[in-house]
A and B are shown apart, each in its own frame.
With several copies, the nearest count.
Chain A
Amino acid sequence: MPKQQMIAMILAGGQGSRLGVLTEYIAKPAVPFGSKYRIIDFALSNCTNSGIETVGVLTQYSPLELNSYIGNGYSWDLDRNLGGLSILPPYQSMAGSDWYKGTANAIYQNITFIDNQKPDYVLILSGDHIYKQDYREMLRAHIEAEADATIAVREVPWEEASRFGIMNTDEAGNITEFEEKPANPKSNLASMGVYIFSWQILREYLIADEQDPNSRNDFGQNVIPAMLGGGKKLLAFTFDGYWKDVGTIFSLWESNMDLLDRPQEINLQDALWRIYTRNTLQPSHYVGTNASVVDSILTDGVEIHGSVKHSVISSGAIVEEGAEVKDSILMPGSVVKKGCKIDKCIIGIDTIIGENVEAGISVKEGREDFVSEKFCSDGITVFGSGLVIADNVKIVGNSMLFPKEAGQTCDVVLDSIILGVI
């Protein structure tokens, strides 16, 4: 196979526990996003569009749906015979076996895989960020600066800087210090979790890191500081496009709404930078005679007979006559039945909302027993995937509806089906 100058390793093993019920059965990178995508489509499409043809996806937690979604990589043109996409779960060897302990350990456990590709550079990505980036530009900067590592950073508002991993740099853009969530930030350059490493250097540091019993085997907390301490040249590469970590219910909702309110920022219509996604094999969507669809995005297989305002409707979702959906996200295959009023809700995959249900921020009087301060904020209500919700219930904002456990009865969640993968 032609030698690959740079290969990508996508960290897709995290539990995504702050998304609550949405990552009950599926890994965070497989969570639906933006009407026709899954979160990991962005990282994968960035690779394809950047000409990167060898991509390792490191999985661990609930990988079934993710594996099945990614398949052989065909949808992203990554089903190469030589190189292409590889799913890399933890494994056993004569030396023993371990689950991935941290981001750096996950790469450490795949040193042999990377060595076999003989790359000069390794790109480390996270599978759960929404952005479009040409990694070739970053590689060019890395090579020109003769850096050992290059970290993509973005400017964040100063008042938010203390929530991020902050890079302090000199005038040439070299990183002089890395501070994880500093109380008094000296810079507002936050790490995006996108790293390019010269592979031989990283390899050394991974082996050293593994031997340190006190290390948490994390890039941000351990490997980057060790490289700084070791006098390596670390470059900050400023990225000023749209970028969002969709790690919480609020940021997931907000990032979906950005597609409606600030569509030019991520620009999904860019024909030169397509976001590839797995085809759902559905026909064009149908809008019925008495329907109204305003300020929304829709995709294949959707059927709208009711009213949809300022919402993101995913493939195969159905809104029946007389139902009203507003400021909401309908995930694939979800059904909103007649007479419902859905306001600022996220409806999980294949979930059926019974007739005349009212849910969300505008419900003043209703069931409060599903309110979840831990996951929900800003009035967003979340219905898990595969649920069947009873008719006529009213559910207040900030609620999260979980599946029934076996044998448990519930007057609101009538049934829950363990999801089939795609």
Chain B
Amino acid sequence: MLTDAMGIIIADNSRIQLGELNVERALAATPFGGRYRIIDFMLSSMVNSGVKHVGILAETKYSSLMDHLGTGSHWDLDRLQQGLRIIPPYMQSEFFRSPSPQDINGLYDFLKHSVHMYVIVAESNIVSNISFTQFVKEHEKSGADVTAMYNHDSNSFGAPNISLTFEDNRLVDMMIDPLNPTSDCSSLGAVVLSRTLLMDLLTQAIARGDSLFNTEFILEKYRELTIRGYENNDMTLRINSLATYFSASMRLLEIDVLHKLFKSENRIYTKVKNESPARYFKDNHVSNSLISDGCDIIGTVENSLIFRGVNVGKHSKISNCIIMQDSVIMEGAELKNVIIDKDSVVRSGVRLQGSPDYPVVIRKGVIV
């Protein structure tokens, strides 16, 4: 059990845009896998590793993120001491009166008021059920300034890819989306360092007027700092683009992937909605699909992920699709390679078809 580390999760990444899915919500709040949001994976991994104090660094689109996270109770992070804190932008600092970037100021204040020795900083585009316990232990043992998690999972590469080059397990080069990568080590968007070092780095950034904070901000200090690598071999899905979002979703239909993510001793927590069980009527046909509570299934569903509360109407046909919460697919509609965002309606007889690389996306609350 990890007891002396806290966590920071970065809710957005300016290099990663999932099109219509992110117009109004942070990357971290993107629905994923039937009943989750992407952030659930990093947050649950931290909780399962014994982290009890987590700050979420949010940008402007934090309405749905706040709604999803609530008091943190679903992750058992609604605590008197420690617990979950959203660090919103434009927050004035208690310690800095300068007109410098306020997101970083808020983060600095959060760290200053904490007591932990180490901080795990994680991006929110990694879907995995990770244990950070060994990661922090290795960091502590090695005496490095920073330890960066990476893997060799070349299958899930895709832009942006942070390619890390190590010599004697010390980071000597970092490239973002290299054309000719000199290393097959790809950052998993998680680093650990001491809280005081992170505060020092932030102080420097504030003094310089820098505003961008993410894991690259730390990794690019490889010249001044000793940054070591830590290889992680857990099953990992990277979400770097709409196409990888779509393909990562589809991989959940592989029973082996599903079990690795969800059926280990460590569970993935998410906001509970108390939907009723899913109902299957006569004449439905469902094959190789994930279906969620609250759904009414009358039509045909193949190779798809159906979120909570979706209505799949009579004679409708859904294949290779992601249908998000509370959407309605009416009688006879046909969808292939389509992502339907929340609360949308596909009317009777409508046909939509995308390709696996370019799925059609219907945005939230739309009637097609």
Contact = CB atoms under 8 A, between A and B. Distances in A.
Query: A and B: direct contact (Cβ < 8 Å)?
Result: yes
Interface of A: 1-5, 34-36, 51, 74-75, 77, 80-82, 263, 268-269, 274-277, 279, 281-301, 303, 308, 312
Interface string B230-273: 00000000000000000000001101001001100111110010
B278 A286 contact: no
Given A5-B1, A51-B3, A293-B284, 10 more contacts: A4-B1, A75-B272, A77-B80, A268-B277, A281-B269, A283-B252, A284-B33, A286-B291, A287-B287, A297-B279
Contacts of A284: 33-35, 290-293, 305-307
Interface stretch (B46-54, B98-106, B150-158, B219-227): B46-54
A3 B265 CA distance: 9
Nearest to B73: A81
Contact of A81 (B76, B281, B288): B76
B335 interface: no
Judged by DSSP, the binding face of A is loop
A34 B277 contact: yes
A277 B288 contact: no
A284 B295 CA distance: 11
A203 B47 CA distance: 29
Contacts of B289: 286-287
A138 to B, nearest CB: 15
16 contacts: A1-B76, A36-B277, A82-B76, A279-B272, A281-B268, A283-B33, A284-B306, A285-B290, A287-B286, A287-B289, A288-B288, A294-B281, A294-B284, A295-B281, A298-B291, A300-B35
Given A3-B265, A284-B35, A286-B290, A295 B280 contact: yes
B264 to A, nearest CB: 11
Q: Which of B81, B255, B277, B279 has the most CB of A within 10 A?
A: B277
Contact of B278 (A80, A295, A298): A298
B276 A294 contact: no
A119 to B, nearest CB: 11
A61 B267 CA distance: 31
B294 interface: yes
Contacts of A279: 74, 272
Interface of B: 1, 3, 33-36, 47-50, 73-74, 76, 79-81, 252-253, 255, 258, 261-262, 265-269, 272, 274-282, 284-294, 305-307
A288 B261 CA distance: 18
A291 B49 contact: no
B290 A293 contact: no
Given A287-B286, A288-B288, A275 B76 contact: no
A211 B272 CA distance: 45
Contacts of A297: 276-280
Contacts of B294: 269
Given A81-B76, A289-B288, A298-B291, A283 B261 contact: yes
Given A275-B274, A296-B280, A289 B35 contact: no
B31 to A, nearest CB: 12
A2 B47 contact: yes
Nearest to A277: B274
Contacts of B292: 284-285, 300
Nearest to A303: B255
A285 B291 contact: yes
B270 to A, nearest CB: 9
A291 B286 contact: yes
Contacts of B282: 294-295
Nearest to A299: B277
A274 B159 CA distance: 43
A233 to B, nearest CB: 24
B278 A2 contact: no
Contact of B274 (A1, A51, A274, A289): A274
